[in-house]
Amino acid sequence: MSVLLTLFPGQDPLSWKTAFAELLPDEAVWLDSEVPDPSLVELAVVGARPQADFSHYPNLGAAFLLSAGVDHLIRGGLPEVPIVRLADPAMAHSMAIYATYWTIHFQREFERYRADQAQHRWEARPTSVPADFSVGILGFGTIGQVVANMVGSLGYPVNAWSRSPHEANGEKHFAGIERLDGFLAASRLVVNLLPSTPETVAILNRERLAGMEPGSFLVNIGRGVTIDTEAMLEALDSGALSGVTLDVFETEPLEADSPLWDHPSVHLTPHISGDTLLATAPAVVAANISRWRRGEEVAPIFDPSRGY
Ligand code: NAP
């Protein structure tokens, strides 16, 4: 029984291999360079696109991703076997903290107080309450639901938008493209958690951004391609949007000459809101591999027809 381990750049091969070898004592765990014979590879744990083409492994039965998204692999060619995405509660928790931090930042106007401080200005403004600051979760999947629970627990009214209807758990739910405009108009701050699919590319376009309540906020931790960057910059400059925080971009790393770097109303981080953690991800993936070996159900499985 054997597992090929292909990692993201920057992940220490020895630490990850050791973690998987301890969790899966019945499997031979090989890094790319250690595979004795490609026909012996049965399963693959996949971070970034492996150097070796998946077609070199004729007996590959399934791929277990070290990421929730699949778009970086689609570009390089996905293996034609079942693909199991990563759903790590610790990653979702980390992203919920990120989104909650920026929700509080914008709702409590910490941006303005920072600017006041730079001017040595002492000016208390009336404090808004969370109940008056609705947060919209665009993409109400594994991670979106954890974000909704965290901001909701602080008293922010939560709107949720997804493709299919979901059981409401305190949040106001909007399903389907025909309800997107209503969702955006009802949300003072939108947290984007949509995957990159043919349907979601530039889904936040000029018209939709213009339909948001003037002075709204945007936090993008899903995928960069889902927002029309030029239209977003125009919305910021016109005051339609008051501020944005971006963790993901159309091109990563962000181009050196991107106007986003220096825009006063843009905060950005280099795709760190939900890292794949050595402390937790191997156990999540190994549990799925063990279930697979026992012939049990594994989730979440990538559905090529939906694109996520
Ligand atoms: P997920 O469980 O598959 O959830 C995706 C959500 O998006 C679902 O609610 C789905 O609707 C909705 N959706 C997809 N296409 C749609 C469409 N065309 N119209 C309306 N709703 C649509 O995914 P997840 O695990 O929460 O991850 C979400 C994304 O976060 C990933 O794909 C990845 O791009 C991003 N991510 C980023 C980081 C980071 O560090 N920045 C880390 C991890 C993940 P249904 O509920 O109806 O299916």
| pLDDT, average across residues 230-257 | 97
Q: How far is the CA of 164 from the centre of ligand 1 (A)?
A: 12
Q: What's the gap in Å between 89 CA and the centre of ligand 1?
A: 14
Instruction: Indicate if the alpha-carbon torsion angle 272, 274, 280, 285 is positive or negative.
Output: negative
Point out which residues pair with 46 in neighbouring strands.
Answer: 6, 65
Task: For strands 62-65 and 43-46, give the pairing.
Answer: parallel
Its pTM stands at 0.97
Task: Look up the CATH architecture of domain 2-88+276-293.
Answer: 3-Layer(aba) Sandwich (3.40)
Question: Mutate which of 143, 171, 271, 303 to test ligand 1's pocket (most atoms within 8 Å of Cβ)?
Answer: 143
In order of 21, 73, 288, 304, the CA distances from 80 in angstroms are 25, 12, 19, 10
pLDDT of residue 52: 64
What local confidence, expressed as pLDDT, does residue 74 receive? 82
Catalytic residue among 93, 206, 271, 291: 271
CATH class of the domain defined by 90-268 = alpha beta
Residue having the nearest C-alpha atom to atom 34 of ligand 1: 195
State yes or no: is 271 an active-site residue.
yes
- pLDDT tops 80 at residue 171: yes
Copy the structure tokens of residue 177: 């493209």
Domain with CATH 3.40.50.720 in the chain: 2-88+276-293, 90-268
Tens digit of each residue's pLDDT (9 = 90 or more) over 47-58: 987 666 788 899
What is the CA(305)–ligand 1 centre distance, in A?
A: 15
What whole-number distance in Å separates Cα of residue 185 and Cα of residue 182? 5
pLDDT of 99 = 99
pLDDT at position 66 is: 97
Q: How far is the CA of 3 from the centre of ligand 1 (A)?
A: 27
- Assess whether pLDDT exceeds 80 at residue 142: yes
- CB-CB neighbours of 204 under 10 Å: 24
Tell me the per-residue pLDDT of 182-228, one tens digit each, with 9 for 90 and over. Answer: 999 999 999 999 999 999 999 999 999 999 999 999 999 999 999 99
- In this structure, the chain runs to a length of 308
> Could you give the strand order of the β-sheet that contains 2-6, starting from the edge strand earlier in sequence?
28-31, 2-6, 43-46, 62-65, 83-84
Q: Which residues line ligand 1 (CB under 6 A)?
A: 68-69, 87, 91, 139-144, 162-164, 193-195, 197, 199-200, 221-223, 247-248, 271, 273-274, 308
